[in-house]
Amino acid sequence: MRLTAVRPGHVLRICFGGALLLTAFWIYAPNLLGNRSLDAVINARAIQILSPIEGVVTGTAPPAATLLQPGDLIVDIRNAAAEQTFLTQLRTEKQSLQERVSSLEPLRDQLEAQRDRMRHDLERTRAAAVERLQIMVKEAEADVRAARAAAKEAEREVARQRWLLASGHVSQALLDKMINASDKARAEAERAQLVTERTRHDLLTAKSGILPDRPEFSFALQRIDETATRSAELSAQLREQKSRLADLERVVPLEEARARERSTAHLVSPIRAIVWRPATFAGGWVGADKPVTTLIDCTDRVIQAKLPGRRFETVEPGTVATVRVLGGGRDMRAIVQDRRGMGASEQNDRFAAPVPAIIRDEFLVTLTLADPAGWGDGNAFCNVGRSVEVTFESSIGGFASMIQTASRWLGTTARAEVSDRDGAQARTMDSAAPQPPDPSAGDSRRGPPLAEPISSP
């Protein structure tokens, strides 16, 4: 068996070809195997600050890349033509009720004072009437005693005249006259008794508050009752209007606050954030529920990368990846949070930068930095919107193992190629050497003798 020396040119060509293959493998293998994604971006949640009212922007809004602290002013919005009809109605009603209450209270007080005065005068009148009737009762009792005395005197005079008539000293006519005078005296006594009883009855009724012979007293009582009724009505109206006034005093400040909210808006930053995209300017008009500015939070950044669909099962949540900003920057560790298929790119309205668009057989991976503060000082926007390279750990052990495997494969291939080439050269030389005679060479029916196989070194 004969060995042929390997020429340097062959070795150089083999090494050069292997280097080209290795370079191509280094560049394209991660993409072909799905271990690396160049279509990735650093993103952050977009916080849109909306105007609650329509109006004119007063002052200058913070420019892009401005760092805002919680409570920092963004803009003031004012609307001098805000609708305040309901507030005007409430204020008018409140003023009207205040005037009514202020006018009804003196009227009610005056009616109550008038009622008290009438009651006092009526009590004095009743007391005077009772006192006068008591005197009249005494007078009537005196008249009764006088009438009774006169009747007794007339009766005695009739008896004396009867005795004189019997003795013939007086005439019958004089006796008759005395009898009539006695009857009259008796009747006067009875009349005086009746007057006394009537006066006593009037006294009792006067003490109970009734003066039948005084119509002005009854009118005064009726007037007092009317005054009390009117005073009660005024008190009810006052209670109702004061209750409504209390409601208005509670509602009007609330409506004034709502009117201020509709006419004035003071927008401040809710968190520590960076101005991403201002949408207004000083003196500009902004509509209700329209964006004033867009903020981003550097502490809530994510990395969104798209990968081929065949890698969906291997890239699970919790998988560690290496992220590097294209064009420079240091490598950072990131952790997979979720995976989404078709429709994941429809989240553009919730993120500051455009989400990588995916098509069929692709999916979107969302990662978070292991160090949330990483790349926080790269630029004013915390590197949001910059393209990054995301590299996942390969199933065959990473790039170092891939290079080692490729090198072994290339070395084995090169040795096999050299061995095959040397074997071919040896067979050519053996076929050119003289052959020993063959006894069967004269047989024309048999073919040429078979060459002895040459084993490769």
For 165-183, what is each residue's pLDDT tens digit?
Answer: 888 777 888 888 888 888 8
Residue keyed to tokens 């709502």: 258
Question: pLDDT tens for residues 190-199?
Answer: 888 898 888 8
Examine the pLDDT at 87 and tell me if it is beyond 60: yes
pTM of the model: 0.49
**Domain boundaries, given as residue ranges, for the chain:** 36-72+273-393, 87-244
Examine the pLDDT at 154 and tell me if it is beyond 70: yes
Q: Which whole-number Å values give the CA distances from 115 to 119, 232, 235, in the listed order?
A: 6, 12, 15
Question: pLDDT tens for residues 93-137?
Answer: 989 989 988 888 888 888 888 888 888 888 888 888 888 888 988
Average pLDDT of the segment spanning 194-210: 84
CATH 3.40.50.300, domain 36-72+273-393, yes or no = no
Examine the pLDDT at 144 and tell me if it is beyond 60: yes
Rounded Cα distance, 60 and 332, in Å: 38
Encoded amino acid at 394, one letter: S
Q: Please give the distance of CA 286 from its chain centroid, rounded to a whole number.
A: 22
Q: Which whole-number Å values give the CA distances from 316 to 25, 276, 341, 393, 394, in the listed order?
A: 26, 32, 13, 12, 13
Q: Is beta strand 362-369 parallel, antiparallel or unpaired with respect to 332-340?
A: antiparallel
Question: pLDDT tens for residues 50-75?
Answer: 998 888 998 888 898 888 999 999 99
CB 263 within 8 A of CB 53: yes
Average pLDDT of the segment spanning 377-392: 79
Predicted confidence at residue 30, as pLDDT, reads: 53
Examine the pLDDT at 421 and tell me if it is beyond 80: no
Examine the pLDDT at 444 and tell me if it is beyond 60: no
Within 13 Å, how many C-alpha atoms sit on residue 157's CB side?
A: 17
Predicted confidence at residue 169, as pLDDT, reads: 78
Rounded Cα distance, 306 and 217, in Å: 106
Highest mean pLDDT: which range of 220-234, 347-361, 369-383: 220-234
More confident residue, 407 or 397: 407
Predicted confidence at residue 7, as pLDDT, reads: 66
Examine the pLDDT at 378 and tell me if it is beyond 80: no
DSSP string, 207-262: HTT--TT-HHHHHHHHHHHHHHHHHHHHHHHHHHHHHHHHHHHHHHHHHHHHHHHH
Query: What's the chain's length in residues?
Result: 457
Rounded Cα distance, 265 and 100, in Å: 37
Q: Which residues pair with 75 in a beta bridge?
A: 267
Output the average pLDDT for the chain.
Answer: 78
Examine the pLDDT at 241 and tell me if it is beyond 70: yes
Average pLDDT of the segment spanning 371-376: 70
pLDDT band at 185 (very low <50, low <70, confident <90, very high): confident
Encoded amino acid at 404, one letter: Q
Rounded Cα distance, 174 and 339, in Å: 152
Predicted confidence at residue 434, as pLDDT, reads: 46
Average pLDDT of the segment spanning 351-380: 80
Using CB atoms within 10 Å of the CB of residue 321, give its burial: 0 to 12 exposed, 13 to 18 middle, 19+ buried.
buried
Encoded amino acid at 227, one letter: T
| % of the chain beyond a pLDDT of 90 | 8
Predicted confidence at residue 208, as pLDDT, reads: 80
pLDDT band at 375 (very low <50, low <70, confident <90, very high): low
CB 61 within 8 A of CB 272: no
Predicted confidence at residue 379, as pLDDT, reads: 60
Question: pLDDT tens for residues 337-358?
Answer: 988 876 555 556 688 888 888 8
**Region 87-244: CATH code:** 1.10.287
Helix axis angle for 85-167 and 172-207, nearest 10°, is 160
Q: Rounded to the nearest 10 degrees, how much is the dihedral formed by the CA atoms of 332, 333, 338, 339?
A: 70
More confident residue, 97 or 24: 97
Predicted confidence at residue 269, as pLDDT, reads: 92
Predicted confidence at residue 147, as pLDDT, reads: 87
Question: pLDDT tens for residues 284-343?
Answer: 888 888 899 999 988 888 999 988 888 888 888 888 998 988 877 678 889 999 888 765
CB under 8 A, 24+ apart: contacts of 70-74: 70/268, 70/269, 70/270, 70/271, 70/272, 71/268, 71/269, 72/268, 72/269, 73/266, 73/267, 73/268, 74/49, 74/267, 74/268, 74/269, 74/292, 74/293
| % of the chain beyond a pLDDT of 70 | 77
